[in-house]
Amino acid sequence: MLLRKGSHGDDTWCMPGGHLEFGETLEQCVAREAKEEADIDVKNLEIISLSNDVAYEKHYITIGMIAHEWTGTPQIMEPEKCTDMRWFSLDNLPNNLFHATKKIIENYKANRIYKKDDK
């Protein structure tokens, strides 16, 4: 995970991610973002979560994906956007998770794609 800085969700841990570029597939976006942010190449991707995220005065529909294969040595590629990078066990996560990352992990651990927000 990456520790965000200087943007919405400052000082929260997140997975590599970002926005789709025009004409890009979900898989292409995930591969590009993983390379841009952590210098890893990901393959064999699967959708594991869909969430409606309203946080940090923003509103996103987040599609969480898992890479069943990856290569490379993870490193911080955008130091202006994050200050730290670490591995965490799913059973020992930091408390300050980025909102969308938290929901992706919750869905993954519950073996579901989507959970309607309780309001």
User: Rounded to 5, what percent of the chain is helix, strand, coil?
Assistant: 20, 35, 45
What is the tens place of the pLDDT at every residue in 76-91? Answer: 999 999 999 999 999 9
Classify 114 as helix, strand or coil: coil
Torsion angles phi and psi, residue 4, rounded to 5: -70, 150
What superfamily would CATH give domain 2-109? Nucleoside Triphosphate Pyrophosphohydrolase (3.90.79.10)
**Predicted TM-score (pTM) of this structure:** 0.92
Specify the pLDDT at position 80. Answer: 96
pLDDT tens-digit profile of 20-65?
Answer: 999 999 999 999 999 999 999 999 999 999 999 999 999 999 999 9
| DSSP designation for 97 | B
In the structure encoding, which two tokens stand for residue 54, read together?
């309203």
| pLDDT at res. 108 | 97
Contact 95, 105 (CB under 8 A): no
pLDDT over 70 at 118, yes or no: no
* Sequence ranges of the domains in the chain: 2-109
Give residue 85's pLDDT: 98
Quote the tokens at residue 6.
């200087």
Burial (CB count <10 Å: 0-12, 13-18, 19+), residue 22: exposed
**Cβ atoms of residues 75 and 86 within 8 Å:** no
